[in-house]
Amino acid sequence: MILAELQNDRFLRALLKQPVDRTPIWMMRQAGRYLPEYRASRADAGDFMSLCKNADFACEVTMQPLRRFDLDAAILFSDILTIPDAMGLGLYFETGEGPKFEKVIRTEKDVAGLQKVNVASDLGYVTNAVSTISNELNGKVPLIGFSGSPWTLATYMVEGGSSKDFRHVKEMMYATPDVMHQLLDVLADSVIDYLNAQIDAGAQAVQIFDTWGGALSHDCYKEFSLAYMNKIVKGLKKEARGRKVPCIMFTKGAGQWLEVMAESGADALGLDWTTDIANARARIGDKVALQGNMDPSVLYASPARIRDEVAKILKSYGNGSGHVFNLGHGIHQFANPDHAKAFVDAVVELSPAYHK
């Protein structure tokens, strides 16, 4: 696929620790329920998965935050659970309860019975959305593709939905670790194919979302989460259309594992708000770029308070490239869009001083 020449590549340059004129910014879940235009699009589509599976709707909601805010990247509008859905688990959404599956995976027989994912036929609606969004962007900013991590996908598949105590997935991990490894291996292979297909369709960077890795013990994180993300990073296409395709690895609650994560081969690590970015840069900033890490709840504060927090994080990171400003997790659905604009504008205004 031939893409229009990028008019703004500071996000990609920062991920590769190349010089930039200011700190680039995007927001996790930047296309989402906090925007009234998103809620209108979802109502028009009928339900969440119809929004995801229609390329025109997915493109429209991807573009919505770019019309409001001075962002440096777009992110594909989709869901992290598309792969388990393609494996035959029957993804659906209960209002107010989040994602659920009609089938759960608890045994070796369950794992063996998973449908093998053919990205072109089973997830073609995602790659079609990537192509459609890329054409609509026309080089304005880069497009980020993404997937859930194997551990995070497995968590939903084994629990059947969201969980507070991870009872079933941790039981499988501790009682039948071989079965858990079989499941994670199948998922890692599928994620590699999925992300590479997104890259082929036009994604210029990719992020692995490991939402639930922080629920694991020290050794289990390395064995059951990080090892499979490392496999994915090694299997990803490193270049496309004459340009390097950076990979961002994000585990929520992973501040204690930054050193081993930095050995993964990923170009950048996402930080949640519980990790001091100055400390993270001192520990691993010579190896990888850092993305983050304002607490999304700061957006409930006044614009002046938001600006102060942005200034503090910029000062904490310090001078030079290698920082992509973001929230420490997804923007909350009750955030005021005007406060999100104050956040983005503060980064745009205050960060050039750190790049002279």
Domains parsed from the chain with CATH numbers: 10-355 (3.20.20.210)
- Provide the residue-wise pLDDT of the chain in tens; the chain has 356 residues: 667 789 999 999 999 999 999 999 999 999 999 999 999 999 999 988 899 999 999 999 999 999 999 999 999 999 999 999 999 999 888 766 788 899 999 999 999 999 999 999 999 999 999 999 999 999 999 999 999 999 999 999 999 988 889 999 999 999 999 999 999 999 999 999 999 999 999 999 999 999 999 999 999 999 999 999 999 999 999 999 999 999 999 999 999 999 999 999 999 999 999 999 999 999 998 999 999 999 999 999 999 999 999 999 999 999 999 999 999 999 999 999 999 999 999 999 999 999 99
- As separate numbers, helices (DSSP H) first and strands (DSSP E) second, the chain gives 17, 11
Q: How far apart are CA 100 and CA 330, in angstroms?
A: 20
The Cα angle at residue 121 between residues 130 and 236, in degrees rounded to 5 = 55
Cβ atoms 29, 99 nearer than 8 A: no
Length of the chain: 356
Residue 314 in 3-state DSSP?
helix
Question: Half-sphere exposure of 232 toward its Cβ, with a 13 Å CA cutoff?
Answer: 34
- Catalytic amino acids? 29, 33, 42, 79, 156
Q: Which residues of 147-171 are buried (b: 16+ CB within 10 A; e: fewer)?
A: bbbbbbbbbbbbbbbebeebebbbe
Helices (H), 138-254: 150-159, 167-175, 177-201, 218-220, 227-235
Tokens describing residue 243: 């340009």
Contacts for 223 with CB less than 8 Å, ≥ 6 apart:
none
Does the pTM exceed 0.85? yes
